[in-house]
Amino acid sequence: MKTLIKSLLLAATLLVSAQSFAAITYSDSKVPDYLENGWNGEAFVFRITGNTIATGCAAGNEVFSVDATHPAYKIINNLTTASYVAKRKLRVVFDSGVCSSVGRAKVIAVQVFD
């Protein structure tokens, strides 16, 4: 029993430590060129072609995802869609290496530029 508890505590410590290595990162400022809703409404996905800032996720540096459970889901969706329609530059704030279940960079926030 003590070995199990020690193993669980070690695993929890390693998980917390791994999260501390994630770093707030900003994408290149570019106009999004692709928008997609999740098939079951679970996420909003968009692409910024030409983003050179590494996301650390399997889907590459150009694809970003916002979970429907994100507290700012609606405003991020609205700002990204407005940026797409108005052809305004968008910069994405994300945690490098923190990825969605399908390997896309998870968005923290977005910034729209003139």
CATH of 23-113, one of 1.20.58.220, 2.40.50.50, 2.40.50.140, 3.30.479.30: 2.40.50.50
pTM over 0.85: no
Q: What are phi and psi of 16, to 5 degrees?
A: -65, -40
Per-domain residue ranges of the chain:
23-113
Report DSSP state, residue 19. H
What average pLDDT does this structure show over 36-61?
91
pLDDT band at 10 (very low <50, low <70, confident <90, very high): very low
Q: How is residue 65 written in tokens?
A: 């995802």
Return the pLDDT at 19.
46
Tens of pLDDT, residue by residue over 17-29, are 344 456 889 999 9
Arithmetic mean of pLDDT over the chain: 84
